Structure 1
Amino acid sequence: MVDQMWAGVRERVGVLGGTVGFFGAATHGFRLDPVLAPAEVEALEARLGTTLPDEYRSFLLQVGAGGAGPCHGVYPVHRTGDGWAWSGDGADLADLDRIAEAFPTTGPDPEALAVLVAQRPDEESFEGEDEYDTAMEEWDDRVGELLWAADRTVGAIVICHIGCGQREWLIASGPERGRIWSDNRVDDLDLAPLLDPDGRPVTFARWYLDWLDKAEQHLRQQAG
Protein backbone atom coordinates (compact mmCIF):
# COMPACT_ATOMS: atom_id res chain seq x y z
CA MET A 1 0.00 0.00 0.00
CA VAL A 2 2.83 2.39 0.90
CA ASP A 3 4.57 1.61 -2.39
CA GLN A 4 1.43 2.29 -4.40
CA MET A 5 0.90 5.79 -2.99
CA TRP A 6 3.87 7.10 -4.99
CA ALA A 7 2.79 5.63 -8.35
CA GLY A 8 3.09 8.31 -11.02
CA VAL A 9 4.15 11.03 -8.57
CA ARG A 10 7.55 11.67 -10.14
CA GLU A 11 5.86 12.09 -13.54
CA ARG A 12 3.24 14.43 -12.07
CA VAL A 13 5.96 16.63 -10.61
CA GLY A 14 7.72 16.71 -13.97
CA VAL A 15 4.64 18.15 -15.65
CA LEU A 16 4.76 21.12 -13.30
CA GLY A 17 8.10 22.32 -14.65
CA GLY A 18 6.63 25.41 -16.32
CA THR A 19 4.57 26.52 -13.33
CA VAL A 20 5.35 30.03 -12.08
CA GLY A 21 4.11 32.06 -9.15
CA PHE A 22 3.77 29.07 -6.84
CA PHE A 23 5.47 29.40 -3.47
CA GLY A 24 8.93 27.81 -3.48
CA ALA A 25 8.97 27.07 -7.21
CA ALA A 26 11.80 29.53 -7.80
CA THR A 27 13.93 27.53 -5.37
CA HIS A 28 13.37 23.93 -6.48
CA GLY A 29 12.10 24.51 -10.04
CA PHE A 30 9.97 21.37 -9.74
CA ARG A 31 13.11 19.30 -10.25
CA LEU A 32 13.62 16.02 -8.39
CA ASP A 33 16.92 14.33 -7.61
CA PRO A 34 17.37 10.75 -8.83
CA VAL A 35 15.91 8.04 -6.64
CA LEU A 36 18.12 6.05 -4.30
CA ALA A 37 18.84 2.39 -4.93
CA PRO A 38 17.72 -0.11 -2.27
CA ALA A 39 21.35 -0.70 -1.30
CA GLU A 40 21.84 3.04 -0.81
CA VAL A 41 18.80 3.32 1.46
CA GLU A 42 20.07 0.36 3.47
CA ALA A 43 23.47 2.04 3.79
CA LEU A 44 21.79 5.26 4.93
CA GLU A 45 19.79 3.37 7.54
CA ALA A 46 22.92 1.60 8.73
CA ARG A 47 24.50 5.01 9.23
CA LEU A 48 21.50 6.20 11.26
CA GLY A 49 21.18 3.00 13.25
CA THR A 50 17.47 2.72 12.52
CA THR A 51 15.05 2.23 9.63
CA LEU A 52 13.44 5.29 8.05
CA PRO A 53 9.67 5.86 8.31
CA ASP A 54 7.94 3.75 5.63
CA GLU A 55 6.43 6.61 3.62
CA TYR A 56 9.69 8.52 3.44
CA ARG A 57 11.69 5.40 2.73
CA SER A 58 9.51 4.51 -0.24
CA PHE A 59 9.65 8.14 -1.42
CA LEU A 60 13.44 7.91 -1.63
CA LEU A 61 13.15 4.69 -3.64
CA GLN A 62 10.37 5.75 -6.01
CA VAL A 63 10.19 9.54 -6.26
CA GLY A 64 13.58 11.04 -5.51
CA ALA A 65 16.28 11.66 -2.94
CA GLY A 66 14.99 15.23 -2.57
CA GLY A 67 14.10 18.29 -4.60
CA ALA A 68 10.66 19.59 -5.55
CA GLY A 69 8.24 19.61 -2.67
CA PRO A 70 6.51 21.71 -0.02
CA CYS A 71 7.81 25.21 0.63
CA HIS A 72 11.37 25.42 -0.71
CA GLY A 73 11.58 21.70 -1.44
CA VAL A 74 12.47 18.43 0.26
CA TYR A 75 16.04 18.46 1.53
CA PRO A 76 18.11 16.00 -0.52
CA VAL A 77 20.04 13.23 1.16
CA HIS A 78 23.29 12.11 -0.43
CA ARG A 79 26.57 10.36 0.18
CA THR A 80 29.40 12.47 1.54
CA GLY A 81 33.00 11.79 2.35
CA ASP A 82 31.89 10.89 5.86
CA GLY A 83 28.94 8.72 4.82
CA TRP A 84 25.54 10.39 4.41
CA ALA A 85 24.01 13.82 5.00
CA TRP A 86 20.97 15.94 4.25
CA SER A 87 21.69 19.32 2.66
CA GLY A 88 19.75 22.55 3.08
CA ASP A 89 19.42 25.57 5.32
CA GLY A 90 19.65 24.22 8.87
CA ALA A 91 19.91 20.57 7.84
CA ASP A 92 22.89 20.23 10.15
CA LEU A 93 20.64 20.96 13.15
CA ALA A 94 19.75 17.26 13.08
CA ASP A 95 22.17 15.04 15.00
CA LEU A 96 22.53 11.99 12.77
CA ASP A 97 24.18 10.09 15.61
CA ARG A 98 20.93 10.33 17.61
CA ILE A 99 18.25 9.62 14.98
CA ALA A 100 17.48 6.27 16.60
CA GLU A 101 16.53 7.96 19.89
CA ALA A 102 12.85 8.71 20.49
CA PHE A 103 11.86 12.24 19.57
CA PRO A 104 10.55 14.10 22.65
CA THR A 105 6.94 15.18 22.14
CA THR A 106 7.21 17.87 24.80
CA GLY A 107 9.70 20.70 25.01
CA PRO A 108 10.38 23.39 27.58
CA ASP A 109 7.74 24.35 30.12
CA PRO A 110 5.35 26.76 28.30
CA GLU A 111 5.08 29.01 31.34
CA ALA A 112 8.86 29.27 31.68
CA LEU A 113 9.11 30.10 27.98
CA ALA A 114 6.36 32.73 28.24
CA VAL A 115 8.16 34.38 31.16
CA LEU A 116 11.42 34.44 29.24
CA VAL A 117 9.79 35.89 26.10
CA ALA A 118 8.19 38.60 28.24
CA GLN A 119 11.67 39.49 29.52
CA ARG A 120 12.99 40.26 26.04
CA PRO A 121 15.05 43.48 26.30
CA ASP A 122 13.34 46.64 25.08
CA GLU A 123 15.78 48.73 23.06
CA GLU A 124 14.13 51.99 24.14
CA SER A 125 14.91 51.26 27.78
CA PHE A 126 18.68 51.32 27.16
CA GLU A 127 20.78 54.46 26.94
CA GLY A 128 23.23 53.10 24.43
CA GLU A 129 23.32 50.55 21.62
CA ASP A 130 26.20 48.61 23.20
CA GLU A 131 24.23 48.06 26.42
CA TYR A 132 21.21 46.87 24.45
CA ASP A 133 23.31 44.51 22.32
CA THR A 134 24.86 42.99 25.43
CA ALA A 135 21.44 42.48 27.01
CA MET A 136 20.12 40.87 23.83
CA GLU A 137 23.07 38.51 23.62
CA GLU A 138 22.49 37.41 27.20
CA TRP A 139 18.76 36.97 26.55
CA ASP A 140 19.42 35.02 23.34
CA ASP A 141 21.70 32.69 25.29
CA ARG A 142 18.92 32.00 27.78
CA VAL A 143 16.42 31.34 24.98
CA GLY A 144 18.93 29.07 23.29
CA GLU A 145 19.37 27.00 26.42
CA LEU A 146 15.61 26.59 26.69
CA LEU A 147 14.50 26.13 23.07
CA TRP A 148 17.58 24.98 21.20
CA ALA A 149 18.94 22.31 23.51
CA ALA A 150 20.40 19.37 21.58
CA ASP A 151 18.03 16.94 23.27
CA ARG A 152 15.00 18.76 21.85
CA THR A 153 15.33 17.33 18.33
CA VAL A 154 16.82 13.88 18.76
CA GLY A 155 15.09 11.30 16.57
CA ALA A 156 14.22 13.83 13.87
CA ILE A 157 15.49 15.00 10.48
CA VAL A 158 15.23 18.54 9.08
CA ILE A 159 13.24 17.96 5.90
CA CYS A 160 12.33 21.40 4.55
CA HIS A 161 12.89 25.15 4.86
CA ILE A 162 9.80 27.37 5.02
CA GLY A 163 11.70 30.66 5.03
CA CYS A 164 12.91 33.25 7.57
CA GLY A 165 14.51 30.54 9.71
CA GLN A 166 11.35 28.44 9.96
CA ARG A 167 11.70 24.75 9.10
CA GLU A 168 9.86 21.46 9.17
CA TRP A 169 11.13 18.18 10.60
CA LEU A 170 10.35 14.56 9.81
CA ILE A 171 10.17 12.52 12.99
CA ALA A 172 12.11 9.29 12.53
CA SER A 173 11.86 7.65 15.95
CA GLY A 174 9.44 7.51 18.84
CA PRO A 175 5.64 7.82 19.05
CA GLU A 176 5.53 10.60 16.40
CA ARG A 177 7.51 8.54 13.88
CA GLY A 178 6.57 9.36 10.28
CA ARG A 179 4.90 12.68 11.10
CA ILE A 180 5.90 16.26 10.29
CA TRP A 181 6.57 18.84 12.99
CA SER A 182 6.91 22.60 12.43
CA ASP A 183 9.87 24.49 13.86
CA ASN A 184 9.20 28.16 14.63
CA ARG A 185 11.84 28.52 17.32
CA VAL A 186 13.25 31.51 15.45
CA ASP A 187 10.06 33.26 16.60
CA ASP A 188 10.54 32.03 20.19
CA LEU A 189 7.95 29.25 19.81
CA ASP A 190 8.53 25.58 20.55
CA LEU A 191 8.31 22.88 17.91
CA ALA A 192 4.75 21.70 17.30
CA PRO A 193 3.10 18.90 15.30
CA LEU A 194 1.79 19.91 11.88
CA LEU A 195 -1.97 19.30 11.86
CA ASP A 196 -4.52 19.19 9.04
CA PRO A 197 -7.70 21.35 9.12
CA ASP A 198 -9.42 18.61 11.14
CA GLY A 199 -6.68 18.60 13.76
CA ARG A 200 -5.12 15.32 12.66
CA PRO A 201 -1.32 14.84 12.54
CA VAL A 202 0.17 15.14 9.05
CA THR A 203 2.35 12.26 7.89
CA PHE A 204 5.13 12.62 5.33
CA ALA A 205 3.00 11.29 2.45
CA ARG A 206 0.04 13.52 3.31
CA TRP A 207 2.38 16.51 3.56
CA TYR A 208 3.89 15.83 0.15
CA LEU A 209 0.79 14.77 -1.76
CA ASP A 210 -1.26 17.71 -0.46
CA TRP A 211 1.47 20.00 -1.78
CA LEU A 212 1.39 18.25 -5.14
CA ASP A 213 -2.40 18.59 -5.40
CA LYS A 214 -2.17 22.33 -4.67
CA ALA A 215 0.61 22.79 -7.23
CA GLU A 216 -1.45 21.03 -9.90
CA GLN A 217 -4.46 23.16 -9.04
CA HIS A 218 -2.29 26.29 -9.42
CA LEU A 219 -1.16 25.09 -12.85
CA ARG A 220 -4.75 24.54 -13.96
CA GLN A 221 -5.66 28.03 -12.85
CA GLN A 222 -2.73 29.42 -14.81
CA ALA A 223 -3.95 27.60 -17.93
CA GLY A 224 -7.35 29.20 -17.51
Structure 2
Amino acid sequence: MTTNWTGVRARLAALRPYSGRVFGSGRHRFTLADPLTESQLAEAEHQLGITLPAGYRTFLAEVGAGGAGPYYGLFPLADSPDGWGWPGQYDGPGDLAAEFLSEAERARLDAEFTAREPREEDFPDPDAHLAAFRPWNEEWEVLRRRMTAGSVQIGEQGCGYSSWLVVSGPHRGSVWDDSFAADGLMSQLAPDFRTWYLGWLARAEVDSRGRR
Protein backbone atom coordinates (compact mmCIF):
# COMPACT_ATOMS: atom_id res chain seq x y z
CA MET A 1 0.00 0.00 0.00
CA THR A 2 1.38 3.38 -0.98
CA THR A 3 1.54 5.96 1.79
CA ASN A 4 2.55 8.97 -0.30
CA TRP A 5 0.47 12.04 0.56
CA THR A 6 1.68 14.38 -2.20
CA GLY A 7 -0.80 17.14 -2.98
CA VAL A 8 -3.07 16.69 0.04
CA ARG A 9 -2.03 19.89 1.81
CA ALA A 10 -2.65 21.89 -1.38
CA ARG A 11 -6.05 20.27 -1.87
CA LEU A 12 -7.04 21.19 1.69
CA ALA A 13 -5.78 24.75 1.29
CA ALA A 14 -7.93 25.12 -1.82
CA LEU A 15 -11.00 24.21 0.20
CA ARG A 16 -10.54 26.85 2.91
CA PRO A 17 -12.71 29.47 1.17
CA TYR A 18 -15.56 26.93 1.35
CA SER A 19 -15.33 26.23 5.09
CA GLY A 20 -18.75 25.53 6.49
CA ARG A 21 -20.16 23.84 3.39
CA VAL A 22 -18.90 20.44 4.52
CA PHE A 23 -20.07 18.93 7.80
CA GLY A 24 -17.63 19.80 10.58
CA SER A 25 -15.48 22.08 8.47
CA GLY A 26 -16.75 25.15 10.27
CA ARG A 27 -14.63 23.93 13.18
CA HIS A 28 -11.42 22.79 11.50
CA ARG A 29 -11.73 25.16 8.49
CA PHE A 30 -9.58 22.80 6.41
CA THR A 31 -6.46 23.83 8.36
CA LEU A 32 -3.74 21.53 9.66
CA ALA A 33 -1.26 21.42 12.48
CA ASP A 34 2.37 21.30 11.39
CA PRO A 35 3.75 17.87 10.44
CA LEU A 36 5.83 15.98 12.99
CA THR A 37 9.53 15.23 12.53
CA GLU A 38 10.93 11.72 12.53
CA SER A 39 12.47 12.30 15.95
CA GLN A 40 9.13 13.49 17.35
CA LEU A 41 7.34 10.47 15.92
CA ALA A 42 9.95 8.11 17.35
CA GLU A 43 9.67 9.75 20.76
CA ALA A 44 5.86 9.56 20.66
CA GLU A 45 5.92 5.88 19.71
CA HIS A 46 8.41 5.13 22.45
CA GLN A 47 6.25 6.81 25.09
CA LEU A 48 3.02 5.30 23.80
CA GLY A 49 4.55 1.82 23.53
CA ILE A 50 3.37 1.20 19.97
CA THR A 51 4.39 1.62 16.35
CA LEU A 52 1.86 3.77 14.57
CA PRO A 53 0.24 2.25 11.44
CA ALA A 54 2.09 3.29 8.29
CA GLY A 55 -0.70 5.27 6.65
CA TYR A 56 -1.34 7.35 9.74
CA ARG A 57 2.36 7.74 10.55
CA THR A 58 3.21 9.12 7.12
CA PHE A 59 0.20 11.44 7.30
CA LEU A 60 1.60 12.88 10.54
CA ALA A 61 4.99 13.32 8.90
CA GLU A 62 3.94 14.61 5.47
CA VAL A 63 0.56 16.30 5.94
CA GLY A 64 0.00 17.40 9.53
CA ALA A 65 -0.20 16.28 13.14
CA GLY A 66 -3.97 16.84 13.16
CA GLY A 67 -6.69 19.25 12.12
CA ALA A 68 -8.74 18.98 8.93
CA GLY A 69 -10.39 15.62 8.50
CA PRO A 70 -13.65 13.68 8.53
CA TYR A 71 -16.49 15.04 10.66
CA TYR A 72 -15.03 17.59 13.11
CA GLY A 73 -11.42 16.84 12.17
CA LEU A 74 -8.51 14.90 13.63
CA PHE A 75 -7.28 15.21 17.18
CA PRO A 76 -3.62 16.30 16.95
CA LEU A 77 -0.84 14.07 18.18
CA ALA A 78 1.18 16.45 20.33
CA ASP A 79 3.68 16.65 23.18
CA SER A 80 2.64 18.14 26.52
CA PRO A 81 3.92 18.23 30.11
CA ASP A 82 2.17 14.87 30.54
CA GLY A 83 3.90 13.38 27.51
CA TRP A 84 2.73 12.53 23.99
CA GLY A 85 -0.96 12.11 23.36
CA TRP A 86 -4.02 13.46 21.56
CA PRO A 87 -5.23 16.65 23.29
CA GLY A 88 -8.94 17.21 22.89
CA GLN A 89 -9.94 13.59 23.20
CA TYR A 90 -12.98 13.08 25.39
CA ASP A 91 -12.22 9.38 25.52
CA GLY A 92 -8.49 8.92 26.13
CA PRO A 93 -6.67 5.78 25.03
CA GLY A 94 -6.70 2.66 27.12
CA ASP A 95 -4.19 -0.12 26.64
CA LEU A 96 -2.90 0.66 23.15
CA ALA A 97 -0.73 -2.46 23.06
CA ALA A 98 -3.67 -4.79 23.75
CA GLU A 99 -5.10 -6.65 20.77
CA PHE A 100 -8.17 -4.98 19.32
CA LEU A 101 -11.14 -7.32 19.74
CA SER A 102 -12.88 -9.02 16.86
CA GLU A 103 -16.50 -8.06 16.21
CA ALA A 104 -17.61 -11.52 17.35
CA GLU A 105 -15.77 -11.24 20.66
CA ARG A 106 -17.07 -7.72 21.24
CA ALA A 107 -20.63 -8.91 20.60
CA ARG A 108 -20.14 -11.87 22.94
CA LEU A 109 -18.94 -9.69 25.78
CA ASP A 110 -21.80 -7.25 25.25
CA ALA A 111 -24.37 -10.07 25.24
CA GLU A 112 -22.97 -11.49 28.48
CA PHE A 113 -23.06 -8.07 30.10
CA THR A 114 -26.62 -7.36 28.93
CA ALA A 115 -27.85 -10.75 30.16
CA ARG A 116 -26.73 -9.88 33.69
CA GLU A 117 -28.74 -6.65 33.84
CA PRO A 118 -30.75 -6.57 37.09
CA ARG A 119 -34.48 -6.61 36.27
CA GLU A 120 -36.81 -4.56 38.42
CA GLU A 121 -39.32 -7.39 38.62
CA ASP A 122 -36.71 -9.57 40.34
CA PHE A 123 -36.46 -7.25 43.35
CA PRO A 124 -38.89 -6.54 46.19
CA ASP A 125 -38.78 -2.75 45.79
CA PRO A 126 -37.20 0.02 43.65
CA ASP A 127 -34.46 0.73 46.17
CA ALA A 128 -33.27 -2.87 46.13
CA HIS A 129 -33.27 -2.84 42.33
CA LEU A 130 -31.29 0.41 42.22
CA ALA A 131 -28.74 -0.96 44.68
CA ALA A 132 -28.09 -3.87 42.31
CA PHE A 133 -28.31 -1.82 39.12
CA ARG A 134 -25.69 0.78 40.04
CA PRO A 135 -22.67 -1.56 40.31
CA TRP A 136 -23.78 -3.42 37.16
CA ASN A 137 -24.02 -0.13 35.27
CA GLU A 138 -20.56 0.90 36.47
CA GLU A 139 -19.14 -2.27 34.91
CA TRP A 140 -20.00 -0.87 31.48
CA GLU A 141 -17.20 1.70 31.65
CA VAL A 142 -14.67 -1.08 32.27
CA LEU A 143 -16.13 -3.16 29.44
CA ARG A 144 -16.19 -0.22 27.04
CA ARG A 145 -12.51 0.42 27.72
CA ARG A 146 -11.82 -3.22 26.89
CA MET A 147 -13.76 -2.87 23.65
CA THR A 148 -11.64 0.09 22.52
CA ALA A 149 -8.30 -1.29 23.75
CA GLY A 150 -5.78 -1.52 20.94
CA SER A 151 -7.24 1.57 19.25
CA VAL A 152 -7.04 5.32 19.66
CA GLN A 153 -9.80 7.89 19.30
CA ILE A 154 -8.61 10.12 16.46
CA GLY A 155 -11.68 12.23 15.76
CA GLU A 156 -15.05 13.40 16.98
CA GLN A 157 -18.15 12.78 14.87
CA GLY A 158 -20.60 14.67 17.07
CA CYS A 159 -23.47 13.58 19.36
CA GLY A 160 -21.12 11.34 21.37
CA TYR A 161 -19.83 9.33 18.40
CA SER A 162 -16.15 9.14 17.44
CA SER A 163 -13.65 7.59 15.02
CA TRP A 164 -10.99 5.11 16.13
CA LEU A 165 -7.72 3.98 14.55
CA VAL A 166 -6.68 0.42 15.40
CA VAL A 167 -3.02 0.24 16.41
CA SER A 168 -2.70 -3.37 17.63
CA GLY A 169 -3.86 -6.81 16.51
CA PRO A 170 -5.07 -8.27 13.20
CA HIS A 171 -7.18 -5.18 12.40
CA ARG A 172 -4.20 -2.85 12.84
CA GLY A 173 -4.42 0.22 10.60
CA SER A 174 -8.18 0.08 10.02
CA VAL A 175 -10.57 2.86 11.07
CA TRP A 176 -13.75 2.22 13.06
CA ASP A 177 -16.57 4.22 14.54
CA ASP A 178 -18.41 3.63 17.79
CA SER A 179 -22.12 3.63 18.52
CA PHE A 180 -21.80 3.56 22.28
CA ALA A 181 -23.93 6.69 22.58
CA ALA A 182 -26.84 4.78 21.01
CA ASP A 183 -26.20 1.55 22.96
CA GLY A 184 -24.40 0.08 19.96
CA LEU A 185 -20.85 -1.23 19.57
CA MET A 186 -18.20 -0.55 16.90
CA SER A 187 -18.13 -1.00 13.13
CA GLN A 188 -15.39 -0.67 10.55
CA LEU A 189 -15.38 2.47 8.42
CA ALA A 190 -12.35 1.74 6.23
CA PRO A 191 -9.60 -0.88 5.92
CA ASP A 192 -6.89 1.75 6.43
CA PHE A 193 -6.39 5.39 7.38
CA ARG A 194 -5.42 6.49 3.86
CA THR A 195 -8.61 5.11 2.30
CA TRP A 196 -10.71 6.73 5.01
CA TYR A 197 -9.03 10.12 4.79
CA LEU A 198 -8.75 10.43 1.01
CA GLY A 199 -12.33 9.25 0.61
CA TRP A 200 -13.46 12.06 2.89
CA LEU A 201 -11.30 14.61 1.03
CA ALA A 202 -12.75 13.62 -2.35
CA ARG A 203 -16.29 13.94 -1.00
CA ALA A 204 -15.44 17.29 0.60
CA GLU A 205 -14.26 18.63 -2.76
CA VAL A 206 -17.54 17.64 -4.36
CA ASP A 207 -19.73 18.90 -1.52
CA SER A 208 -17.94 22.23 -1.13
CA ARG A 209 -17.73 23.27 -4.76
CA GLY A 210 -20.06 20.94 -6.60
CA ARG A 211 -17.14 19.52 -8.57
CA ARG A 212 -17.64 16.03 -10.01
Q: CA deviation at 1:115?
A: 4.7
Runs of 4 or more consecutive aligned structure 1 residues displaced over 3 Å after TM superposition: 110-117, 130-140, 142-145
Counting only pairs closer than 5 Å after superposition, residues 185-200 of structure 1 correspond to structure 2 as 185-194=180-189
The answer to whether structure 1 residue 216 and structure 2 residue 211 are counterparts is no
Alpha-carbon separation, structure 1, partners of 2:91 and 2:164: 10
Query: What's the RMSD between the two structures over aligned residues?
Result: 2.9
The correspondence for 2:166, drawn from 164, 171, 184, is 171
The Cα of 1:14 is off from its aligned counterpart by: 0.8
Q: Percent identity?
A: 35
* Letter paired with 1:208: Y
Classify the secondary structure of the residue corresponding to 1:99. Answer: coil
Farther-moved stretch of structure 1 (81-90 vs 27-36): 81-90
Equivalenced residue count is 204
CA shift, 1:70, in A, is 0.2
* CA distance, structure 1, for counterparts of residue 32 and residue 45 of structure 2: 21
Please give the per-residue CA displacement for 1:13-44, whole angstroms capped at 9, x wherever unaligned: 11110113210011111110000011111111
Query: Tell me, what secondary structure is at the counterpart of 1:80?
Result: coil
Confirm or deny: 8 A CA contact 2:119 2:129 kept in the other structure: no
CA spacing shift, 1:17–1:48, aligned 2, 3 Å: same
Q: CA deviation at 1:100?
A: 2.2
| CA displacement 1:120-150 (0-9 Å, x = unmatched) | 98xxxxxx9x9999898566435435x42x3
Aligned-residue offset at 1:174: 0.5
Name the TM-score, length of structure 1 as normaliser.
0.79
Change (3 A) 1:116 1:24: farther
- Alpha-carbon distance between aligned partners in 1 of 2:22 and 2:69, rounded to the nearest angstrom: 11
Secondary structure of the corresponding residue to residue 11 of structure 2: helix
Once residues 64 and 31 of structure 1 are traced to their aligned partners in structure 2, the CA distance between those partners, rounded to angstroms, is 9
Determine whether 1:206 maps to 2:181. Answer: no
Answer whether contact 2:167 2:173 (CA < 8 A) is retained. Answer: yes
Structure 1, unaligned stretches of length 5 or more? 122-127, 195-200
Q: Which residue of 2 aligns with 1:100?
A: 97
Structure 1 position 2, deviation (Å): 2.8
1:182 is aligned to 177
Counterpart for residue 123 of structure 2: none
The CA deviation at 1:209 is: 0.3
| Alpha-carbon distance in 2 for matches of 1:213, 1:116 | 45
What letter corresponds to residue 219 of structure 1 in structure 2?
A: S
Cα pair 1:34 1:65 within 8 Å, conserved? yes
